[in-house]
Amino acid sequence: MHEVKPFYQQHFGVPPAWAVRAPGRVELLGNHTDYNQGLVMALAVDKFIHLAGGPRRDGRIEVVSTAFPTPARFSVSAMTKEEAAPWADYVKGLLLQLQRRGVHFNGFNAAIHSTIPLGAGLSSSAALLVATALLVRKLFPYRLTETGVAAPPSPDSRGELPPLATPEKLALAKVCQAAENQFVGVNCGLLDYIASLFGKAHHAILIDCQDLRVEWTPLDGQAEVVICHSGVRHALADGEYNALRRHCEAAARALGARSLRGVEAKDLTARQGQLPEREYQCARHIVGENQRVTFGERALRAHDLAQFGQYLYQSHESSRDSFKNSCPELDLLVELARAHPGCLGARLTGGGFGGATLNLVATGQVEDFRRVIAQGYEARTGRKLESWPCRIVDGAG
Ligand code: GLA
């Protein structure tokens, strides 16, 4: 928070009325399962979007960011995309969705400061959507229900609102998803928003995307999570993501299931011949990932990190060979990680086609791991590797 408040004051001439923050997230296990009504494990990590804001009375909104020189200025009644400030599309997309659900708000000023590295697969966009929703709630209290809005919560004597209840968090996650799907054009699932909202320090979040059940299991002690950023993002990644989603949905339809969640591994094998090869490969990845999350949860609850790490490697192999959302740089990072004695497991994380790998590394070996992987990566690709050890933190607030 410390940087965003002075930045706000410097730009708008008064201190902000409120400040909120939303963490980035890492997908621990369960790749592309979320929009297939499947199972996924995630972590909220200690990289944040900080957002400070204050009301104004003229129906105008002005948003500034420490990362971009030009402010975004628009009106509550005319929120359209603007090429000069595409980062503000997330704010606008979210505000439009809130309006559509019946939330009333007026103009405001806001300042953004992010410590989430861009393009590294930690979902800075989801964190910005979540933070925007929370800031608007501070400024113009609202309570989302599954279908619209209910009477807003009352602030306490210090002006603080009660914490968000689980159904409200889930409704918010859906609003964020709709913003990203409709305004930004990526047909992503709910994983990123749920992870940012439901994070719990030292715990992995388990999400069942079919009934939206959220649970937690401890993940700390003998291992740490390290993110390695490949430094590449393939140009067609958004289009590829949407194409994978279409393959998965087509496979489910061909199998007569509402989603791939309802498909058992043995039935899929038995009916392989009824599916085009590409759809079969995608379905095999998703069905396998759901199984790995189930087994992975069991391993974590038994504190068997060595076994858990094996599921991470298997997940990567399935992404590389079946789902085909890896790339040479991510494969190399996993290969280098596997050769390090301190590494328990590694895999690509998030959408794929570039971005980052997630590595589970024995405590005490983290610095050596980062050094060795960086050396190997630079020697083979000429690229400098950025890597981050992650602390697992509480969700947005
Ligand atoms: C991206 C999307 C998520 C999820 C992951 C893959 O991060 O935003 O919804 O689909 O990819 O698991």
Which CATH number do you get for residue 178?
3.30.230.10
Atom of ligand 1 nearest to the CA of 33: 12
pLDDT for res 120: 84
Query: Which residue's CA is minimally distant from atom 7 of ligand 1?
Result: 350
**For residue 124, pLDDT beyond 60:** yes
pLDDT for res 83: 87
CA of 218 to the centre of ligand 1 (A): 23
350 Cβ inside 6 Å of ligand 1: yes
Question: What average pLDDT does the segment 322-347 reach?
Answer: 98
191 Cβ inside 6 Å of ligand 1: yes
Question: What average pLDDT does the segment 134-138 reach?
Answer: 97
Angle between helices 88-100 and 166-179 (to 10 degrees): 120
pLDDT for res 1: 55
Which of the four pLDDT bands, split at 50, 70 and 90, describes residue 186?
confident
Which of the four pLDDT bands, split at 50, 70 and 90, describes residue 118?
confident
Query: Is the Cα dihedral 233, 234, 236, 237 positive or negative?
Result: negative
Active-site positions? 192
Angle, vertex CA 192, rays to CA 78 and CA 211, nearest 5: 105
Residue 160 lies in a domain: yes
Atom of ligand 1 nearest to the CA of 34: 10
Residue 350 lies in a domain: no
pLDDT for res 356: 95
For the chain, give the percent of residues with pLDDT over 70: 99
**For residue 142, pLDDT beyond 70:** yes
**For residue 30, pLDDT beyond 70:** yes
Residue 149: exposed, middle, or buried by beta-carbon count in 10 A (0-12, 13-18, 19+)? middle
Residue 131 lies in a domain: yes
Question: Domain residues for 21?
Answer: 4-26+44-201
pLDDT for res 222: 85
Residue 108 lies in a domain: yes
CA of 190 to the centre of ligand 1 (A): 8
CA of 379 to the centre of ligand 1 (A): 30
Place of tokens 């369960």: 30
Residue 48 lies in a domain: yes
Residue 231 lies in a domain: no
Question: What average pLDDT does the segment 363-379 reach?
Answer: 98
**For residue 92, pLDDT beyond 80:** yes
Atom of ligand 1 nearest to the CA of 177: 9
Residue 121 lies in a domain: yes
Residue 207 lies in a domain: no
pLDDT for res 236: 64
Query: Is the Cα dihedral 213, 49, 60, 55 positive or negative?
Result: positive
Average the pLDDT over each of 12-16, 69-73, 115-119, 175-179 and give the range with the smallest value. 115-119
32 Cβ inside 6 Å of ligand 1: yes
Mean predicted lDDT score pLDDT of the chain: 95
20 Cβ inside 6 Å of ligand 1: no
What are the start-end ranges of the H helices in the chain? Answer: 4-12, 88-100, 124-139, 166-179, 191-198, 237-254, 265-270, 277-301, 305-318, 328-338, 366-381
pLDDT for res 121: 85
Question: What average pLDDT does the segment 267-271 reach?
Answer: 97
Q: How many domains does the chain have?
A: 1
Question: What average pLDDT does the segment 44-64 reach?
Answer: 97
Helix (H, G, I), strand (E, B) or coil at 72: strand
Higher local confidence (pLDDT), 118 or 4: 4
pLDDT for res 17: 97
**For residue 319, pLDDT beyond 80:** yes
pLDDT for res 221: 78
